[in-house]
Structure formats: C-alpha cells, structure tokens
Structure 1
Amino acid sequence: MFTFHSTQISTPDRADVVRRLRAAGCVFAEDEAGILTSAAGSPAELLAMVERRVGGLPLEHIVGWVDFCGLRVAVDPGVFVPRRRTELLVRRAAGLARPGATVLDLACGCGAIGLAVATLVGDVGLYAVDIEPAAVRCARRNLAPLGGRVYAGDLYQPLPPRLRGRVDVLVANVPYVPSEAVELLPPEARLHEPLVALDGGRDGLDVLRRVAAGAPDWLAPGGHLLLETSSAQAGVAAAALTEAGLGTVVVGDDDLPATVVIGRR
C-alpha cells in the first residue's frame, strides 16, 4: 500500500513506488519511479500510473513519451516504443546525411528515427510512412514542427512519385523477430505493441527483404539505405541488400548492443 506524507505531489513516499515497481520485475525501478513521480499531477494519479505499470503497460505508454537520442518523443498507446539500440541507426544515418538531404523513414512508428536524424543534421526534407493508423497519427504530431510529411500505407506504396530516385538517406527499423519467437518477447512488447511492428516472418527478414528490393527505385545516386537487424541475421540481411544491387557493409555497437546493415546505391 502506498503512503503519502501530504496531498502534494512533491511529497509521496518514493520508496514505496520503487518497492512496488521492483516487486513487479521492473529492472530500472529507481529511474521509473522518478519518471512516474514527475509525470503525475497528484498522489492519486501517481498511484493509478504505478498500478498500470505494475500491470505490465509500457512506461512510455503511461507517461506518453520516450527519451530517444536525447529527445522527448511522444508515444501513444498501441504504438511501437523506440529502443535505445536504434540510436546506432540514427548516428550512422545522420553521418551520411547533409543539410538539404531528402530523408525517408519507412515503418516509422512514432517517427523517432526521422525526428532524431533531422534534428542532428539540420534542414532536411523529411518523409515517413507507417501502416498502423495509430503510429501515423503519432508520427504526424512528432514531425509536424519540422515540416515532416507522414503517409499511411505499406512501405513505398503511399509515397508520392516525385520522390522516386531522390531519397538521399532511407532508414527503416522494420520488424525482424522471427514469427515463432514473438511469443518469447517481454509481455509489455508482445501484449501492448502492434504485432505488425514485431513479427518479421519465418526468419524475421521478410519485411527487410521487401525494403531492400524496392530501395534502388527510390534512392538517389549515391544514396544510402540503413536497416537495423540482429547480429545473427546480419549476414542474410546484407545478402538481401547486395542482391538488390547495393554496395553493402555491416556495422555494430557492442555497448548498445546494435547491428545496422548499410547499402549504397
């Protein structure tokens, strides 16, 4: 049971919050307690938020945002939550882009990758696509301040024809979990994020192959495609980019840990 020293939000017993979160299996209970306490407007709201977290709802869906690449990015319920490992994809993409570049974020979710790349690079033409209506609505809110355009549909299908052959940097964090492994994911992902954002098909690379196959039609000469995958899948993923006619390299970061396959037209 929670105890509060007064009715002011600045004085709840934070230790009680931490204990509840830790008992529920939250690895970063101290950090999460701080975020929830700061986000709550009253002791009653804090109690309700903690109950939702203990019940398995992702922290980001409760508070409505995620800290990604130093940015506070809005994340609505039912939308895929960006992972910290994806910061490698952002750093590599930003290093390849230049002010004035055309950047396309496929399977954009809340739009975090495109937002972070555009923030790091500066003035870019930013476009994004997702098939999930909730993700499209969320991405539009996140990218509107940068003038980003977000389209609803399946990968390249909804893009305006004028972008064909003009994309300088194409980023895509498509699902790469094999179908049979989805049930092994943590419940907060498996139960609260859309299956289309998690399930990558039989070997996890079905969507990645589709992105790779279509990329040469949309990339500008010298343009780059960047795809996140697992280290175990990197060889097969790289082969898909090579088969599409792209010069391909694989980069990794053991600290995150993260793996990104990069193709160049």
Structure 2
Amino acid sequence: MDDETKISIITRLRIAGCVFAEEEARLFFSEAQSPAEFATMVERRINGLPLEHVLGWAEFCGIRIAVDPGVFVPRRRTEFLVRQAAALVTQGAIVVDLCCGTGAVGSALAVTMEGIELYAADIDPAAVRCARRNVTSVEGHVYEGDLYEPLPSTIRGRVNVLVANAPYVPTEAIVLLPQEARIHEARVALDGGADGLDVQRRVAAEATLWLAPGGHLLVETSERQAQLTVEIFIQNGLITQVAYYDELDATVVIGTRPNV
C-alpha cells in the first residue's frame, strides 16, 4: 500500500470519528488476509461498527478476547474489576462470572490464577456463544440463562469469588451512550433499569445463597451509584467496601459473606 493510499484511509477514519485512526489502520492491515478484507474492515469501521467487532477481538488484561458482532465489548475500566477479584482468588477457588458477556472477566482471572474452577453465565444467547470460545479455552464452563438459574446446584454455597459486571446504565441514559454501544451492543447488556441498579439488586439478593462463608461478590458500578450499591449489599447481609481507580474512572463494590 502506497503512502498516499494510507493517508487517504487514515483521513477517512478520522472523519468518521476514529480518534486513533493510524493505530486502527495498522491493526486492519495486520489482521486482513487480503486487500479485499482490509477494505471491508475499513468500510465497516467507517460505518460505525465498534473496532472490536470489526477485528473480532479485544485486548483485555493483556490477553486477546474473542468478540462477536452484537456482543458487549469489554471495557478498559473493567480491568480494575479483574484486579480487585484477582487479589481475592486463591488456587482451587470456585469463581463465577455472572452477566459474563464475552467471558472476559472470568477468562482473565483464570489466566491470572491457574487452577481455579470457573463458571460463567449470561442470558444473551449470542454472548454465551462468544463466551464459550473464550472461557472453554481456559477450561471454564459457560451456561445460558438468567443470572444464577443455569448454574449447577453443586456449587451453591461454595463460591469463593463471584464477579458480576451487570448492566448499570439507567434506562433513560441509554440514549446518551456512544453510538457504537447504543446500536451495536445488546440492550440487555446495557440497561440496568430506572436507576441502573435493578440487576445488581437481583445479584445481591441471592449472593449469600451461592457464596461460601467468607466468599466475595464484586460488581462494577459508577462512582455516582456506588453508595446505593453499598446499601443494596448491606441490606442483603454482605460486609461491604468500595474501591476506586481514577485513572480508568472505575468503581468496584465488594461484598463479603460473613463467616458465621
């Protein structure tokens, strides 16, 4: 590809709103198997498809996560959720990734700590298909269904770490999201109900039934919603703390089931 063509492609990507146009063009060039595939990638991106859907993968916690069309794209801020969970995971632990989407959080934890027993679940069939590609590669198990419903009963009351990157965008705020999310990601992965916390309430309500004594529930939320999330956790019998990371604008609420 000559320099003039490269400049033209980068310019088109910039006009389409791609802030990192040069980097994206390089990624397309390195991933495409032919000039025709490269051109298709560029056109799909210019037409508003998320970069990760165009590439078919996202980099998350230093690993490559498969991302299928229509599936929620793992965010950089969620790497903080992984770090907080990793600090609580020990070898042989039973780990559950609820609302798993691509399975990025569970997969990253399995890479961080080998030997965990990993289970993941999501209500969206497309997400489940995608998660199986990621989670089974780290010897985890993926189930389709509503929150805890599809999980095997054998782990009930034995879960050491439960992570739930549940949707927490208030319904009325969906329209304010970037077009990439609004149009190209499943609404079920975004919409958290009137105040954004409906799914978190349901996760917390059953958490102590699934957690082992001393087990932990971790959810990502916003700084603005964190106090409400804390109240939800406390109401459901969890000892609660909040972790913040300004650099990624990340907030994680951690609830622990008492040992008694």
TM-score range, shorter chain: over 0.9
Name the CA distance, whole Å, in 2 between partners of 1:175 and 1:55: 26
Could you say which residue in structure 1 is the equivalent of 2:227? 235
Identity between Structure 1 and Structure 2 (%): 62
User: In the alignment, residue 202 of structure 1 is paired with which amino acid?
Assistant: A
**Would you say 1:75 and 2:106 are equivalent positions?**
no
Aligned residues: 257
Secondary structure of the residue aligned to 1:41 is coil
Indicate which of 240, 244, 259 corresponds to 1:248: 240
Secondary structure of the residue aligned to 2:247 is coil
User: In the alignment, residue 246 of structure 1 is paired with which amino acid?
Assistant: L
Indicate which of 173, 176, 194 corresponds to 1:181: 173
Q: TM-score, normalising length from structure 2?
A: 0.97
Could you say which residue in structure 1 is the equivalent of 2:218? 226
Could you say which residue in structure 1 is the equivalent of 2:19? 27
Could you say which residue in structure 2 is the equivalent of 1:124? 116
Name the CA distance, whole Å, in 2 between partners of 1:99 and 1:243: 30
What is the root-mean-square deviation in Å for CA atoms of aligned residues? 1.1
Could you say which residue in structure 2 is the equivalent of 1:98? 90
What aligned pairs does 1:9-158 form with structure 2 within 5 A after superposition?
13-158=5-150
Could you say which residue in structure 2 is the equivalent of 1:168? 160
Secondary structure of the residue aligned to 2:128 is helix
Deviations 1:132-157 (A, max 9, x none): 11111111111112221101000001
Unaligned 5+ segments in structure 1 are 6-10
Unaligned 5+ segments in structure 2 are none
Q: TM-score, normalising length from structure 1?
A: 0.95
1:77/1:192 contact within 8 Å kept: yes
Secondary structure of the residue aligned to 2:228 is helix
User: In the alignment, residue 112 of structure 2 is paired with which amino acid?
Assistant: L
User: In the alignment, residue 117 of structure 2 is paired with which amino acid?
Assistant: G
**Would you say 1:208 and 2:197 are equivalent positions?**
no
Name the CA distance, whole Å, in 1 between partners of 2:182 and 2:79: 22
1:12/1:43 contact within 8 Å kept: no
